Structure 1
């Protein structure tokens, strides 16, 4: 029996030319996801570039996300910063809003030991009025949440789960050791078909903003145990990801172009990230996986 599938989109943050929140773009992005059956959002995560936003833009991002979601999807908010007091202040900034949890990436810039991280997370969990989720992304932070650390932190009643963007083998012992009450949400966009088929049912990634149609197909295929369709969509998703990772333009600038092609306005690449050149824009529209996204659709790019 296939467990109910939970797909959580790490939303991008559309910005105006002045790098304020592009409210129309945020509303369009959320409605696009909801229309394709996405049942969870992470706002201000890695895709949302919280650390690059002004405090006022960040606050508005969360407030508007609450308003546009209207309880139709789980809403998690990234609050992790470089120190205890900075993360504490972000929790206080958002916890009075109607959100379902706060997500805390391991602190970055300065490297901390595992005992430091245990104290950090336990102290934040004590003060937060919202459920707290760990976020393991050592490729970016330079700090790994070790299995023993996660197991210890999972004993705290307000630490409800972990979003793991590291290799799946590093989180597998946690899945095997803990009950279903501790959620393990994986970010493995290249392995979704394998993991869904094996019963790993909670997934989160930023690429979902670009292809909610494909994610909807993957959910339907999993629930129907249609493994051929699931594998077919996975090949397309992996091909798109490989292209995005190897393309000459900055990732978030490419995301901006694709979102604008979807009719969602705003700039998802804050300065100093450059925009695509005219030549890169042509190459993007000619790429086979990009053409698959928009097959049968009318493309009317909007201005960022």
Structure 2
């Protein structure tokens, strides 16, 4: 289970170091065994270069070798992604994760050249990142299979529908890591043997993810399904709210005792009324049953 970490920021939008430390330690305390730093949840593209560098450095320090650390490096062009790899490969990380370049549309041939060139220059294992909902570019199965032949391309993080990556799993098997982001299907996928999962929602409810792992290991499929129901309901709450997603995430993480703002401008913060409505939602109250809700603010 790999958590896509958020990036806590100060009011000046510099790295909130105590917030990052609390965020990482909260995850480790619940058995999370991997982190994606500066991924989509971490909003790498919205950070200054100095904040990005500090985020990676401090994440490595706070993790202290306890969990796998992957770092998002994908930018809008080869040279920009190359420079991000140069920034982060000096740190003790386990791999770099590169989105398909965005802003301009690229062909599959362009993407093959892009990723092979990155794999050649990176001193760290390279992972593909398929997120067509955001980038507008799909990594097709044939492209992934061709790239998987390179010795320094170790896997793919797939946020598209599971059916689009299933042929890669069936063709390559364990020789190539397929890390899925399917938080609405985790019970089905865990029960069917898909064991590598990554998502940002894990940061909000790591205790639920810990229980899902335990239920899978004990083959308690009823318990697994019940937790999945709560997780899917939380996802629906987040995406259907009129409030900005990352601002809602900020409020929940602040309630967990993790300070910092995870929604940089121009995303607006929640109003006092929206915060009250969120805190009073039965599902949010369920998250904090038996816990002390913190009054820490962003």
Q: Which interval holds the TM-score relative to the shorter structure? A: over 0.9
Mapped to 1, the partners of 2:84 and 2:295 lie a distance apart of 35
What secondary structure does 2:134 align onto?
Answer: helix
Q: CA deviation at 1:297?
A: 1.1
- Calculate the TM-score normalised by the size of structure 2: 0.99
What secondary structure does 1:104 align onto?
Answer: strand
Misfit runs of 4+, over 3 Å: none
After TM superposition, the structure 1 = structure 2 runs for residues 264-303 of structure 1, keeping only pairs within 5 Å, are 264-303=258-297
Residue 58 of structure 2, aligned match among 35, 50, 64: 64
Aligned pair 1:207/2:201, yes or no? yes
Find the counterpart in structure 1 of residue 213 from structure 2. 219
What secondary structure does 2:197 align onto?
Answer: strand
Deviations along 1:83-127, one digit per CA (max 9) or x if unpaired, are 000000000001011000000000000010000000000000000
Q: CA deviation at 1:179?
A: 3.1
Mapped to 2, the partners of 1:35 and 1:298 lie a distance apart of 16
Gapped regions of structure 2 (runs ≥ 5): none
Residue 109 of structure 2, aligned match among 115, 118, 142: 115
Q: CA deviation at 1:286?
A: 1.2
- Calculate the TM-score normalised by the size of structure 1: 0.98
Deviations along 1:191-239, one digit per CA (max 9) or x if unpaired, are 0000000000000000000000000000000000000110000000000
After TM superposition, the structure 1 = structure 2 runs for residues 1-304 of structure 1, keeping only pairs within 5 Å, are 7-304=1-298
Mapped to 2, the partners of 1:181 and 1:229 lie a distance apart of 31
Q: CA deviation at 1:16?
A: 0.2
Mapped to 2, the partners of 1:174 and 1:45 lie a distance apart of 22
CA RMSD after TM alignment? 0.5
Mapped to 1, the partners of 2:162 and 2:232 lie a distance apart of 16
Residues paired across the two proteins, number: 298
Mapped to 1, the partners of 2:257 and 2:93 lie a distance apart of 27
Mapped to 2, the partners of 1:30 and 1:70 lie a distance apart of 10
Mapped to 1, the partners of 2:273 and 2:283 lie a distance apart of 18
Gapped regions of structure 1 (runs ≥ 5): 1-6
